[in-house]
Amino acid sequence: MLDGIFTGLQTAIIPTNLFMVVLGCFVGTFIGMLPGLGPVSAIALMIPITYGIDPSSGIILMAGVYYGAIFGGSTSSILINAPGCSGTVVTAFDGYPMAARGEAGKALALAAYASFSGGTISAIFLLLAAPMLAHVSLSFQSADYFALMVLGLSAVAAFSGKGQILKALIMTVFGLMLSTVGTDRATGVERFTFGSIDLLDGISFLLLAMATFALAEAMMSVLERVDEGAETQDMSKLGSMKLSAEEVKEVAPTVGRSSVLGFLVGVLPGAGATIAAFLAYGVDRNLARGKKKEEFGSGSLRGLAAPESANNAASSGSFVPLLTLGIPGSGTTAIMLGALISYGIQPGPRLFLDNPEVFWSVIISMYFGNVVLLILNLPLIPYISRLLIIPKPILIPMILLFSITGVYLVSFNSMDILIMVGICALAIFLRLLTFPMAPLLLGFILGGMMEDNLRRALLINDDSLSFLWERPITLTIMLITILVLVAPLFQKTLKRLFHVESSPEGLTID
**What residue ranges do the domains of the chain occupy?**
2-226+249-497
Q: What is the mean pLDDT of the chain?
A: 75
pLDDT of residue 349: 67
Instruction: Let me know if 100 is exposed, middle or buried by CB neighbors in 10 A (0-12, 13-18, 19+).
Output: middle
Sign of dihedral through CA atoms 320, 326, 329, 332?
positive
Higher pLDDT, 132 or 82: 132
- Provide the percentage of residues in the chain whose pLDDT is more than 70: 78
Segment among 224-228, 310-314, 456-460 with least mean pLDDT: 224-228
User: pLDDT by residue (tens digit) across 448-461?
Assistant: 778 878 888 887 77
Q: Are 473 and 479 in contact (CB under 8 A)?
A: no
pLDDT of residue 104: 76
How many alpha carbons fall within 13 Å on the CB side of residue 266? 35
Q: Are 111 and 121 in contact (CB under 8 A)?
A: no
3-state secondary structure 342-383: HCCCCCCCCHHHHCHHHHHHHHHHHHHHHHHHHHHHHHHHHH
Instruction: Let me know if 358 is exposed, middle or buried by CB neighbors in 10 A (0-12, 13-18, 19+).
Output: buried
How many residues are present in the chain? 510
How far apart, in Å, are the Cα atoms of 118 and each of 58, 63, 92, 121, 373?
A: 24, 16, 18, 5, 12
Higher pLDDT, 44 or 268: 44
pLDDT-based confidence at residue 403 (cuts at 50, 70, 90): confident
In angstroms, rounded to a whole number, what is the distance separating the alpha carbons of residues 433 and 428? Answer: 9
Q: Which residues pair with 190 in a beta bridge?
A: 183
3-state secondary structure 389-442: HCCHHHHHHHHHHHHHHHHHHHHCCHHHHHHHHHHHHHHHHHHHCCCCCHHHHH
User: pLDDT by residue (tens digit) across 471-488?
Assistant: 887 888 788 878 777 766
pLDDT-based confidence at residue 192 (cuts at 50, 70, 90): confident
pLDDT of residue 490: 65
pLDDT of residue 240: 60
How wide is the angle at C-alpha 16 spanned by C-alphas 14 and 17, nearest 5°? 70
User: pLDDT by residue (tens digit) across 54-70?
Assistant: 777 888 888 888 878 87
Q: Quick one: which of 501, 365, 347, 352 has its CA closest to 20?
A: 365
Q: How many C-beta atoms surround the C-beta of residue 101 within 10 A?
A: 11
Q: What is the DSSP letter of 508?
A: B
How far apart, in Å, are the Cα atoms of 151 and each of 142, 147, 327, 478?
A: 14, 6, 9, 7
pLDDT of residue 501: 45
How wide is the angle at C-alpha 264 spanned by C-alphas 21 and 24, nearest 5°? 10
How far apart, in Å, are the Cα atoms of 28 and each of 25, 32, 40, 65, 66?
A: 5, 6, 10, 4, 6
Q: Are 35 and 78 in contact (CB under 8 A)?
A: no
